[in-house]
Amino acid sequence: MSQCTDLDLAPEDAATEDEVFSDAAAYRSYLAKVYGSFSLTGQDGPSGDGDISIVNDEGFTSYIRVYWKAQELTTDEAVIAWTDAGIRDLHEHSWSSENQFVRVLYYRIALIVSFANDFLKQSSDEKLASNGISAEDQEIIQEYRLEARFLRALAYWHALDFFRNVPLETEISANIPSQASPLEVYNFIKDELIDIESQLPDPGANEYGRADKAAVWMLQAKLYLNAETMVGVDEYAACVEACSKVINEGYTLEPIYQSLYMKDNHESNEIIFAINSDGKNTQNWGNTTFLVHAAIGGTMVDSDYGVVNGWAGLRTTKDFVSKFPDMTGDIDRRAIFYTDGQSLEIDDIGVFEQGIAVPKYTNTNLAGEAGSDPTHVDTDYPLFRLGDAYLMYAEATLRGGGGDMNLALDYVNRLRERAYGSVNGNITSTDLNLDFILDERSRELYWEATRRIDLIRFGQFSDQGIWAWKGNVKEGRITESFRNIFPIPASDILANPNLNQNPGY
């Protein structure tokens, strides 16, 4: 310290904040970083210079990878053969505040919020003016700010879902954050989405993979559908309204179900908002690269799925398989199962051949052509799609949201006609009830990270529902109700005296 007397010197080997943001293109690059934080893990691909260093394997820190595990491995839809520390805890419902996957999920959400907050700080009117950004570029950057606010709201929605009681911060600050109530977080998300809705581009008018009005409506629908469970507020009518906006915008069901999960799914008119994946330009060990590779093992041929090797991890349980009329997919085409050499019963979760394989995501197209890279896949992750909007409309209507029951029935039967290839799978109004909706959501949306939140909403996740190996018992068992949400990581509790741990942990 005594040797450094000129404290105004700028760094010689790196650009300063003001230098970087004097170029209007930097704001687009920074917005790309916020978007990329939902799938990428750091500054170099497929790994290197990671954003999060709290675990040894950078691939674990991919947001969609850890988000998917939390939503699916905790349910009847998925088990995994691997033995990484803490991963079996998810299906066993035995996780603690020290679990590395819970920690990564929490810190990745917080990091996305921080990136969005900093982007909004760097793109304020004052900053843009002081950095000499032209009026024309300022207008474009104002649109970027709306997207950053959407991404922040999306991250907070996941925080509310997984952890409920989290800090609510909208600015970068050196102050220790305070813990907000679930209702405060809910109201923040609700108000943000209402405020930005009309200002975002119309559905389909933005670049693919970027937020528009329809993405806002889908996030609103999910927020409102789960409001009663999460914060005790009845918002089913608002859910119906949000779903109707999406449905009336001209989106159409993909004629062939599996094409929604293939390398060219960016061409689908059913997908409303996706987390983009490109085998050459977004290489990482998470996102759909994980979902394709981890589901391949046993006697499966890797090249059939457009990759060079399977990771022999993910399968499903007999409880999920039983929701379909058979395993072949000849009746309900959504049953994308691989059965050769696989047993329905699971006596050892660590053996890939025990449990039915589910190659739902693939790095090929319908013609069998492989993606641009045999390791890192081109398949985008469909976060929001029309099929989900149909089912949310039907459920919210059944829960008293004031929707049209005839329309609700029609929307469900549109999905079933695609699944069965005819009207043979259609149901009648007497079949359309909440129990049916829960099962139909599983058939339609399995492995799309909706199962945990659906089971919680229907009261069947912890102390009610039972499925194979839940609670580390082959037959399954009920678990404690406090596991409907995850614990705040112990490391954050120790670092922040303003935080209280979630009950039960």
Q: What is the mean pLDDT of residues 301-326?
A: 98
Write the DSSP assignment of 364-413 as a string of letters.
Answer: B-TT--B-S-SSS----EEEEEHHHHHHHHHHHHHTT----HHHHHHHHH
The tokens for 203 are 């559905």
> How many contiguous H segments (helices) and E segments (strands) does the chain have?
18, 4
Q: What pairing do the DSSP bridges indicate for beta strands 314-315 and 381-385? A: unpaired
What is the share, in percent, of the chain residues with pLDDT greater than 90?
92
What is the share, in percent, of the chain residues with pLDDT greater than 70?
97
Tell me the C-alpha distance between 158 and 172, whole Å: 20
pLDDT given for residue 2 in this prediction: 46
> 382: pLDDT confidence band, cut at 50, 70 and 90?
very high
Q: What is the mean pLDDT of residues 422-433?
A: 97
Is the bond leading into 177 cis (omega within 30 degrees of zero)?
Answer: no
Which residue stretches of 430-484 are H helix? 434-445, 451-457
- Give per-residue pLDDT as tens, 233-291: 999 999 999 999 999 999 999 999 999 999 999 999 999 999 999 999 999 999 999 99
pLDDT given for residue 6 in this prediction: 54
Q: What is the mean pLDDT of residues 182-205?
A: 98
pLDDT given for residue 1 in this prediction: 39
pLDDT given for residue 56 in this prediction: 85
pLDDT given for residue 53 in this prediction: 87
Tell me the C-alpha distance between 500 and 397, whole Å: 37
Domain boundaries, the chain: 277-379
Contact by Cβ (8 Å): 122, 504: no
Q: Output the CA–CA distances (angstroms, integers) from residue 391 to 250, 375, 444, in the order listed.
A: 17, 34, 9
Residue 29 pLDDT more than 80?
yes
Residue 8 pLDDT more than 60?
no
Q: Is 400 left (phi over 0), alpha (psi -120 to 50) or beta?
A: left
pLDDT given for residue 17 in this prediction: 73
Closest of 440, 474, 438, 435 to residue 317, by C-alpha: 474
Residue 362 pLDDT more than 50?
yes
pLDDT given for residue 200 in this prediction: 98
Q: Output the CA–CA distances (angstroms, integers) from residue 40 to 68, 147, 213, 373, in the order listed.
A: 14, 18, 25, 16
Average pLDDT of every residue of the chain: 95
pLDDT given for residue 120 in this prediction: 98
> 14: pLDDT confidence band, cut at 50, 70 and 90?
low
- Give per-residue pLDDT as tens, 61-86: 999 999 999 999 999 999 999 999 99
Tell me the C-alpha distance between 403 and 279, whole Å: 42
Largest Cα–Cα distance in the chain? 83
**Residue 87 identity:** I
Q: How many CA atoms lie within 13 A of 221 on its CB side?
A: 28
User: What's the whole-model pTM score?
Assistant: 0.95
